[in-house]
Amino acid sequence: MRSAGLERFRAKACPGLDPGWIPVRVKKTRQSKNLEPRSDSIGTEKALETTILTKGQQPKMITEIALIDIKPGSEKDFEAAVAKARPLFLRAKGGKGFELHKSIEKPSRYRLMAKWDTLENHTIDFRGSDDFTAWRGLVGQYFAAPPEVEHTETVLTSAG
């Protein structure tokens, strides 16, 4: 049965294709390049927002990664002290929060991963503040050695 307006042609011989298969040629149409929302478009505004955000340069957020070895046996007290220090990071200029990760293989090793708008928000604004002194006052007693700190920026993510 043929549809009106569709032109059929024979497929070229290709390995793996049924020799009797006849594909249908479909007329191509132009896609509208007009990205303005229309009243009949569901979710167009959100799609446009995403497009605009992904086309422009995204501001880079900085991740501070601190490798912290603590005195064995003080893990629970250290974790409680870090939880108590949470407001210090959240009120810091450019501070976007943090995560504390505990090593499975080395239970007295932690990684503090704090998010900052800029490198200077951590290295100058936070470290030069009274809140940094308060942070060290809460957790410093548990350190087995001074933390090793580095800063990173995300260049690739698989998060969806």
pLDDT, mean of each 10-residue run, the chain (160 residues): 55 52 57 51 43 49 96 97 94 95 97 95 94 96 97 84
What is the pLDDT, as a whole number, of residue 58? 55
What is the pLDDT, as a whole number, of residue 17? 52
What is d(CA 48, CA 109) in angstroms, rounded to the nearest whole number?
Answer: 44
- In CATH, the number for domain 62-153 is 3.30.70.100
What is the pLDDT, as a whole number, of residue 60? 77
What is d(CA 6, CA 25) in angstroms, rounded to the nearest whole number?
Answer: 7
What is the pLDDT, as a whole number, of residue 38? 47
What is the pLDDT, as a whole number, of residue 63? 95
CA-based end-to-end distance of the chain: 44
pTM exceeding the 0.75 threshold for the entire prediction: no
What is d(CA 93, CA 64) in angstroms, rounded to the nearest whole number?
Answer: 14
What is d(CA 74, CA 81) in angstroms, rounded to the nearest whole number?
Answer: 11
Token pair, residue 157, equals 């993510």
DSSP readout, 96-135?
Answer: EEEEEEE-SSSTTEEEEEEEESSHHIIIIIITTSHHHHHH
Torsion angle of the four alpha carbons 6, 7, 8, 10, in this order, in degrees rounded to the nearest 10 = -150
- Domain limits of the chain? 62-153
